[in-house]
Amino acid sequence: MNKTLLLIIIDFLFLNLIALTQWEKLEISRPPAPIGPEVAAQPGEGPTPREQDLVAAMKLSLTDESARRESLAQQLAGAEETIAEREARLAETTAALTERERKLSQLATEKSKLDTALADTRQTAAMLSAQIQRQLADAARDASLSKEQMDRLRRELEAKQAEAEKQQVAIAQLEKQQAEARQKIEGLSVAVQVAEQEKTLLKDTAETFRQQAQAERLERAKVQESNVQLAQGVGQLAEKSGELTKEIRGNRPINANVLFNEFVANRVATTFTAARKSFLGPITRESEARTILVTDGVKIYALLHISDTPFSLRENGADWERFSIEFSRPSGYHSPVPRMDFLSLDPRVIVLPVDQVQAAALGVKIYQTALEPFKFPEAVLINGGGTGYGEVAFKLDAAQPGYVRVDNRLMKRLFGDFAPTRGDLVFSKTGELLGIMVNSDYCAMVTNFLPSRSLKTGDDITGQETGTSLDAMVTRYRSLPLKLQ
């Protein structure tokens, strides 16, 4: 309760108490009469001066009290007006607070709508950003393709210009030859006239020669019979000599330096490019390897290890969107490859088909697979597409048919600073291909080119589900014994 209001109520009660008191009936205590002669009050006398003073004091006090009560009443009325004003202000404040809460609620609803709109805007911006990135990637790819087309056109133009120059030189030579031919024709015309004259003389002598020819024909028949018998004997001897030469060459080892020099001269550069999209952005992988062409007598292939490609069997497969392979030679020749095969011999061994036109254009030696791979206890290992080579001993492993174990501890005649590792090619001492190293210890013998899976190249290979094929190869790889992994 307000302290001022409490004081007002107390004063009000005190004034009521004073006002309701019957002062006339109060007995006025008189002091005891002094010892001495008493003065008797005379009947009919008025109040004493002392009583008059007391009554005057009381009246004065009542007057003051009445004035004070009027003042307090005025203050009480003022306080009530103040309270009424405060209550009115309080009501206005309450109404203002209610209105403010309503506005805050409305603002909260609008904020929620704005947050939703902002989220939609951000999502739309993210989609637009992704679309822009895709368009940029497509534009970059188109630019790269345009650059490759321009380079190809430039090379074709240079080749055509060189061919035109060769044709001009050939035309000049032909003109020179035509002039010489005219001179010869003129000389031949003179010779024909002379021949006509000689022909008449020859007719005269022909009859004589005919008689002599009859006799010589009989003798020549006898000589031909002798020559046929002699030729048959010589042919039989030549066949035996060829077989003997072939057998000698097949059993004579070739020097490792010769094999390596031949390998370096017949390498084919192979370029791989694979691309796909991910939540972090576009992914592009490129790799390049140098290898050789191999044949089983029927078809021709380029032999590689999967580590030479953009793919790996140590990660889960992914669906790639674009995949290309290209052969190239220092002469400026480039040729695309239609597909890549995983051999059934081992999931890590990769071959690329090569047609007769490509093989002729590349102009390199095509190696044969070894018919007798175990004729020699040693082989020639060539590392990293031609960075080093050496002679190694190898042994059969009865527990792992189709593989041979290469003894790295017995490396001899090592040329180059290297250690045998996956992807190295192994040749027999006769120059035939034995196989390819699948790890640092084991070589997979390449005896056939039967594929287990294939990946086609192209600018859009999403329909191939390359992730499924790669996962199948990963499963095959992980099912191999640990020593072969």
Q: What is the pLDDT of residue 316?
A: 84
Is 383 part of a structural domain of the chain?
yes
Provide the residue range defining the domain that includes 271: 256-484
| Token pair listed for 312 | 């790996």
Lowest mean pLDDT among 7-11, 157-161, 212-216, 399-403: 212-216
To 10 degrees, the CA torsion angle through 377, 382, 384, 388?
Answer: 120
Q: What is the pLDDT of residue 440?
A: 87
**What would the pLDDT profile of 24-78 be if each residue is shown by its tens digit?**
555 545 555 444 444 444 444 556 777 777 777 778 878 888 888 888 888 888 8
Tell me the CATH number at 295. 2.40.10
Q: What is the pLDDT of residue 40?
A: 44
Q: What is the pLDDT of residue 273?
A: 96
Q: What is the pLDDT of residue 181?
A: 78
Number of H helices, E strands in the chain: 5, 16
340 beta partners? 455
Q: How far apart are CA 26 and CA 182, in angstroms?
A: 182
Lowest mean pLDDT among 33-42, 114-123, 311-320, 413-422: 33-42
Is 401 part of a structural domain of the chain?
yes
335 beta partners? 327
327 beta partners? 270, 335
**What would the pLDDT profile of 242-271 be if each residue is shown by its tens digit?**
554 455 455 568 888 889 999 999 999 999
Q: What is the pLDDT of residue 361?
A: 92
Sign of CA dihedral 459, 463, 468, 472: negative
Residue with tokens 């210890």: 441
pTM of the model: 0.49
**What would the pLDDT profile of 359-380 be if each residue is shown by its tens digit?**
999 999 999 998 888 888 888 8
Contacts for 330-335 with beta carbons within 8 Å, 24 or more apart? 331/363, 332/155, 333/361, 333/362, 334/152, 335/361, 335/362
Q: Report the interhelical angle of 49-251 vs 3-20 (nearest 10°).
A: 160
Three-state SS for 383?
A: strand
Q: How far apart are CA 457 and CA 353, in angstroms?
A: 12
- Measured CA distances, 383 to 263, 424, 469 (Å): 11, 5, 29
Does 473 score more than 90 pLDDT? yes
Q: Give the best-scoring range by mean pLDDT among 56-65, 117-126, 217-226, 323-332.
A: 323-332
**What would the pLDDT profile of 69-114 be if each residue is shown by its tens digit?**
888 888 888 878 888 888 888 888 888 888 888 888 888 888 888 7
Is 49 part of a structural domain of the chain?
no
**What would the pLDDT profile of 112-133 be if each residue is shown by its tens digit?**
887 888 888 788 878 877 888 8
Q: Using the 8-state DSSP alphabet, how is residue 3 labeled? A: H
Is 380 part of a structural domain of the chain?
yes
Q: What is the pLDDT of residue 197?
A: 75
Is 406 part of a structural domain of the chain?
yes
Output 216 or 469, whichever has higher pLDDT: 469
Is 260 part of a structural domain of the chain?
yes
Q: What is the pLDDT of residue 452?
A: 92
Is 52 part of a structural domain of the chain?
no
Share of the chain above pLDDT 70, in %: 84
Contact 474, 313 (CB under 8 A): yes
Q: What is the mean pLDDT of the chain?
A: 81
Q: How far apart are CA 394 and CA 373, in angstroms?
A: 11
Contact 381, 394 (CB under 8 A): no
Q: How far apart are CA 471 and CA 316, in angstroms?
A: 6
Is 290 part of a structural domain of the chain?
yes
Q: How far apart are CA 297 and CA 281, in angstroms?
A: 46
Pick the closest to residue 349 from 443, 222, 259, 280 (CA basis).
Answer: 443
Q: How many domains does the chain have?
A: 1
